[in-house]
Chain A
Amino acid sequence: MSHKLQQILQVTKWEFMYFFKLKQELIGKAIMLAIGLLIYFWQSTSFFEPEQYVIATPSAMNLTQLPEPLLLKRVDASKAELLTQLEQEEIDGILILQAQAGEALQFELITTGKMSWQNEVEVALTQFYSNELAQSFNLSAAQLALLQQPVSVSNQYTKDAVKETHNQSSMTAFGVMLLMLIGIFTSFGQIFVSITGEKQQRVTEQLYSCMSAQTWIDGKIFGQMLHCLKAMLSTLFSFLLAMAFIQVVVKNEALDFTMIDFAMLPWFTLFAIVGLYMATAFMAAIAAAIDDPNHSGKTGFMMIPILPIVIAFMIVDSPSSLAVDILSLFPLTAFVVMPVKMALIEVPIWQVLCALVSALLGCYLIRVAAGRLFKAGMVMYGKEPSIKDMVRWVCKPE
């Protein structure tokens, strides 16, 4: 391994570990693990040993059964007696038919508190009510099914093969974009603290005597990218855990991750990594030009990498426009516009590859510019360079 590569790895490790707090990470992961275990055991218990909820009804109606794990128990008792049984937890609920004959059916469902199975009772009762009405109108089962079928509109496009709205691809693409935003915001805070901190602690010249500015910034970018990826993965796992919790614990359903397009995910991830590199390199370069973090006017410039993502959100309604075609191949926006385009319409593979090459070219240009800005900015104390100075450093390095 070359000495330069070793230096990049050393800086990457140092940069990552500088902000990595093992104790906090362990606590966070332990909490996530506990939630995961809870979900697992809840699911196991719920599926293999289903609990039964007894709903008592004194009503004279045709409804004979409710879906599992609910059990409808017809009893010959007054409401007061049933309430006593409910208080003593002999039954889980009381269902009373309140109005009938020419009116909409009205039921009263009495429980001790808010129960997760209440919705299921309502769905079953709605089904029962529809069947009752169909019978009273002499409708057959097939006619009733037709009546309940929603209108279907099939959109056809002559120019592009537009994918259906809210498909897996778009859900995945926007998910990755949101995660990228989280990654960029993580990097924003840390790289700002890291670089301005190194300037304030006067460690920069010592580091420059060990390695080139480009080697240093490369290491810093990779270190911060690792943090971005860690933040994105943590957020993703937290989100998936939360979803699993809702599905399994709250709704008593099976785990379902079908909204993720696993076929597109590698492409989106690749573009996201390229985008993170660009954003981090850009922010590092700007941070190097900041002398006093409390009074600098340049902090706002560090948010510029958010712009391509904002643009990507804006073009969702017109994925076939000329602007999208251009932006999806432009080096500084390709990393986010192309994935969105891919999520919304079918894109030929050559365009995807062109966008990737273009984005990599953007990475290279930003890397070189950032290295030059970094070199000049990091040894400048007590005075902040103007935008003109910064442009000069990039175009005409010393």
Chain B
Amino acid sequence: MPDLLQVTGVSKQYVSVKAVDNLSFSVKQGEIFALLGPNGAGKSSLVRMLVGFTYPDSGTIAVNIDGQAYQSIPHQSLGYLPEDRGLYAEKTVQQNLLYFAKLRGVEKNAALAQIESWLTQFDLSDRANERLKSLSKGNQQKVQLISAVLHKPKVVLLDEPFSGLDPINQEKVVVFLEALKAQGMTVILSAHQMAMVEKLADRMLLMNHGQAVLYGTLAEIKQDVGVGIDITVSFSEATNYAALNLGNYKVACTQLSQSKIKFELSDSSELNLLLADLSKSTTLQGIETKTMDLHQLYLKAIESHQGKVQSQENAHVS
């Protein structure tokens, strides 16, 4: 798939805070791309540059849509759910949606048909003529999501689409995003719900302090991080991990009980060797393995990056 978006060496500073620091990545056409990072990592600053609200201090943003080049995602091709979001509370659901559809050039009858279809999908069709303020926060968020896609944009940029939704509605949003992808739209989203991102995203960018920490598919990221594996081994008799000869392995051990030890292997490829060594000296009764999920990856990567930033700052001060 060709690149729809190419960000190269982009930096953005607000007074004394460097919100985005020499960031580079690309988004392919038709994929679901996730922006991850803790609060204050620079995701929203990046999003604001992508939609053209602000401009980079340095670096370039190149958007390619239907062979046309742009410096930010053009209005007519963009569906946007901002982090700071809201609609007109005093107006009805339908009035709000129709207004945004018309602003994006959708003809009235086509817009009404689209509105009806999306509201039905989100179980809101019977509330079309109610004032927005009478809806729950979650339902208001669903209306806002609908308003972002009524004009069938080429790129959908969603800042925290899962926040404020219960698990059932989060699943509905997952289905919604998959439907957008199936229609050929490119979806860029930022989120903290790692399980959702793991399920949805084709590729992802993990940011911290405005910098790229991890970037690629989940498999690529796992490879980059050198993802380890956790194994809990039950022995047939009392066994102390200190008595085991594990000097050749990068492993952290935790004695869970007299006959149960947890091994945290840094390199998952060493698993078979370790088990073979253990079975030579003891009798293994049971083995439980657990690989690192995106949530743990995220925590590990951020912790590691935080340490690097801290040591750089200390070096700078001294």
Binding site for B on A (CB under 8 A): 3, 6-7, 10-11, 14, 18, 201-212, 379, 381, 398
Contacts and interface: CB of A to CB of B under 8 A. Distances in A.
A206 B88 contact: no
A205 B80 contact: yes
Given A206-B80, A379-B53, A398-B55, A6 B105 contact: yes
Given A3-B105, A201-B86, A201-B87, A206 B53 contact: no
Contact of A205 (B84, B104, B105): B84
Given A202-B84, A203-B86, A210 B53 contact: no
A205 B99 contact: no
A14 B85 CA distance: 19
B300 interface: no
A209 B89 CA distance: 19
A210 B85 contact: no
Contact of B87 (A14, A206, A208): A206
A201 B89 contact: yes
Given A211-B75, A211-B103, A205 B53 contact: yes
B100 A206 contact: yes
Contacts of A206: 80-82, 85-87, 100, 144, 147-148
Contacts of A381: 84
A398 B57 CA distance: 10
B82 A3 contact: no
19 contacts: A3-B105, A6-B102, A7-B103, A202-B82, A202-B85, A203-B86, A203-B88, A205-B53, A205-B84, A205-B85, A206-B82, A206-B87, A206-B100, A206-B144, A206-B148, A208-B51, A209-B51, A210-B104, A211-B75
Interface residues of B, number: 28
A260 to B, nearest CB: 40
B84 A3 contact: no
A201 B54 CA distance: 21
A209 B55 contact: no
Contacts, number: 60
B206 to A, nearest CB: 24
A209 B54 contact: no
A17 to B, nearest CB: 9
Contacts of B78: 209
Residue with the highest number of chain B CB atoms closer than 10 Å, among A18, A206, A207, A381: A206
B76 interface: yes
B54 A210 contact: no
A379 B52 CA distance: 12
B220 to A, nearest CB: 31
Contacts of B85: 202, 205-206
B63 to A, nearest CB: 14
B261 to A, nearest CB: 51
Contacts of A207: 103
A205 B82 contact: yes
A203 B95 CA distance: 14
Given A3-B76, A398-B54, A210 B103 contact: yes
B87 A203 contact: yes
A208 B53 contact: yes
Interface in B139-153: 144, 147-148
A209 B147 contact: no
Ordered nearest first, which 8 A-B pairs have the shortest CB separation? A202-B86, A209-B80, A205-B82, A201-B86, A210-B103, A202-B84, A10-B102, A203-B86
Nearest to B132: A201
Given A204-B84, A209-B75, A209-B80, 17 more contacts: A6-B102, A6-B105, A10-B99, A201-B87, A201-B89, A205-B82, A205-B83, A205-B85, A206-B81, A206-B85, A206-B87, A206-B100, A208-B53, A209-B51, A209-B79, A379-B48, A381-B84
B141 to A, nearest CB: 12
Contacts of B102: 6, 10
A86 B255 CA distance: 119
Nearest to A201: B86
A209 B148 CA distance: 9
Residue with the highest number of chain B CB atoms closer than 10 Å, among A10, A204, A210, A381: A210
Contact of A14 (B82, B99, B144, B148): B99
Contacts of B53: 205, 208, 379
A14 to B, nearest CB: 6
Contacts of A211: 75, 103
Contacts of A201: 86-89
A3 B105 CA distance: 7
A253 B188 CA distance: 74
B96 to A, nearest CB: 9
A10 B103 contact: yes
A205 B81 CA distance: 9
Residue with the highest number of chain A CB atoms closer than 10 Å, among B76, B81, B102: B102
Nearest to A382: B84
Contacts of B144: 206
Contacts of B55: 398
A203 B88 CA distance: 7
A202 B80 CA distance: 13
A380 to B, nearest CB: 11
